[in-house]
């Protein structure tokens, strides 16, 4: 009899504790892909990429012209002139590789810069919907990250106090 009462009490307590927390999920990438602003971001990204590509193609054409000139004049050039031309071509080749790497990084930075307002808008919408529907935590489907969490469930300050670590004053 005692074990039945204990079992019922544990079941009741676990039901109460589960009822306090409501977890949801959201597919943020799907939502972003459907937002009309995404098309604008894509167009701006492509325009930026086209500008970078045009600069890159100018460098490549210049390099190819130098290579062609070197091939045509290689037999008539002296040893020192050949070495100087080879050194110049190697430098140009390295410059093209660096430009390509930097271009990829610049494209990624531009993409992030353009997408940031969309993710901010999405985050605000998730927080609004979560609060309105009583969700305490919302996980993203892709990446298993928290899209929203009710701050009253955040135990960061309690852990800091337990460790004896001073909490810095909030900056405005």
Of 2 and 172, the structure prediction assigns the larger pLDDT to 2
pLDDT digits (tens, 9 = 90+) for 115-132: 999 999 888 888 888 888
pLDDT digits (tens, 9 = 90+) for 149-166: 777 766 667 776 777 777
* Domain locations in the chain as residue ranges: 17-163
Which residue, 66, 57, 65, is CA-closest to 100?
A: 57
Which residue, 28, 22, 14, is CA-closest to 149?
A: 22
pLDDT digits (tens, 9 = 90+) for 61-111: 998 999 898 888 888 888 888 888 889 999 999 999 999 899 889 999 999
The pTM assigned to this predicted structure is 0.62
Kindly indicate the confidence band of residue 7, based on its pLDDT and cuts at 50, 70 and 90.
low
pLDDT of residue 1: 63
Whether the pLDDT of residue 17 is over 60: the answer is no
Q: Which whole number is the average pLDDT over 31-57?
A: 89
User: Two tokens at 36?
Assistant: 């009309």
Give the Cα separation of 134 and 22 in Å (integer).
7
């Amino acid at each position: 009899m005692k074990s039945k009462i204990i079992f019922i009490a544990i079941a009741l307590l676990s039901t109460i504790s589960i009822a306090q927390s409501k977890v949801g999920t959201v597919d943020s990438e799907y939502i972003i892909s459907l937002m009309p602003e995404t098309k604008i971001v894509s167009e701006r990204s492509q325009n930026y990429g086209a500008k970078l590509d045009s600069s890159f193609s100018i460098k490549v054409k210049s390099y190819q012209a130098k290579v062609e000139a070197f091939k045509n004049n290689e037999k008539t050039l002296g040893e020192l002139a050949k070495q100087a031309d080879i050194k110049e071509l190697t430098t140009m080749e390295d410059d093209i590789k660096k430009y390509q790497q930097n271009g990829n990084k610049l494209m990624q930075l531009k993409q992030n810069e353009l997408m940031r307002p969309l993710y901010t808008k999405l985050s605000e919408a998730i927080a609004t919907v979560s609060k309105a529907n009583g969700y305490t935590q919302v996980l993203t489907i892709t990446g298993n990250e928290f899209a929203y969490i009710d701050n009253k469930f955040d135990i960061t300050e309690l852990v800091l106090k337990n460790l004896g670590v001073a909490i810095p004053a909030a900056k405005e």
